[in-house]
Amino acid sequence: MNFFGRQIELSEFIPPIFLRGYRKFCPRKNRRFHPFDCIPSDLKVQWIMDVGANVGDVAFAGLKSFPNSKIICFEPVKNTFAELEKKLFPFSGRVFLNNFALGEKKEELEINISSFHGANSICPQSELHEKLNPHVREQTTEKIMVMKLDEIAQQLPTSIVDVLKIDVEGYEKKFYLVEEILLVIMLTLLLLKSH
C-alpha cells in the first residue's frame, strides 16, 4: 500500500508478538532452519554428515528442516557428546552418533576445553580469538580419539551424503579434511565453517 509516497506493508500494523506467536503455532510447511535455509529447495536431502557436531544445534536444525533425512554426527568431547545425545534423542531412529574426531590418521590427541563448548579445539586459542572473545578461555584439556574416515567408512550407514557440515574449530587447516571425506563419500553440498 502506498501512503503519502511511502510504501507501507500490512505487517507494519501487526504487533511483533502476534507474528512470533503465529509462526510458533502455525509454522509454514517445509520451513528450513539455519544454516539449511540456504540449500536449494529442489534438493531432496536424505543424508547429512555433521563433522564437529558440538551439542547438536546444526544437527537438530537439519533434522527439522528435512523431516525424512538421517544424520551422521562426529563429536569427540565427552561432555559435549552427552549433550548431543540428549538433544537428538527424540530423533534416535534417524541419528548415528560417533564420539571421536575425524583426522588424517588414527591417533589420540589432547583437545583444549574452553569456557564455551563451541570453542573447544585441538588447536590452541589464538591471540586474536582471545582479544575478540575475552569471555572464552581455555580451562583444561581432554584426551580424544581421532579416526581416519576411510578406516571407519564400512561402519557408516551410507556412502552417499547430500549435505556435509564441517566446523572443527581450526583443525580443518591441519589436514585436508574435505578432500579426505570426498575420497570416501559421494557429496552433493558442503557447508564449511573455517577458522
Question: Based on the structure, what is the number of domains in the chain?
Answer: 1
pLDDT digits (tens, 9 = 90+) for 39-96: 888 889 999 999 999 999 999 999 999 999 999 999 999 999 999 999 999 999 999 9
The share of the chain scoring above pLDDT 90, in percent, equals: 36
Find the CATH number of the domain harbouring 72: 3.40.50
pLDDT digits (tens, 9 = 90+) for 89-148: 999 999 999 999 988 889 999 988 887 777 777 777 778 877 888 888 787 888 999 998
> Is 10 inside any structural domain?
no
* Cα distance between residue 145 and residue 99, in whole Å: 8
> Is 21 inside any structural domain?
no
> Is 128 inside any structural domain?
yes
| Residue 189, all three cell numbers | 553440498
Query: What's the length of the chain?
Result: 195
* Cα distance between residue 190 and residue 162, in whole Å: 8
Nearest to 55 by CA among 32, 82, 35, 34: 82
> Is 145 inside any structural domain?
yes
> Is 92 inside any structural domain?
yes
The pLDDT of residue 10:
57
The pLDDT of residue 147:
92
The pLDDT of residue 39:
85
Range of the domain at 95: 31-192
Find the range with the poorest average confidence among 7-21, 125-139, 155-169: 7-21
> Is 144 inside any structural domain?
yes
> Is 5 inside any structural domain?
no
> Is 184 inside any structural domain?
yes
pLDDT of residue 11 exceeding 60: no
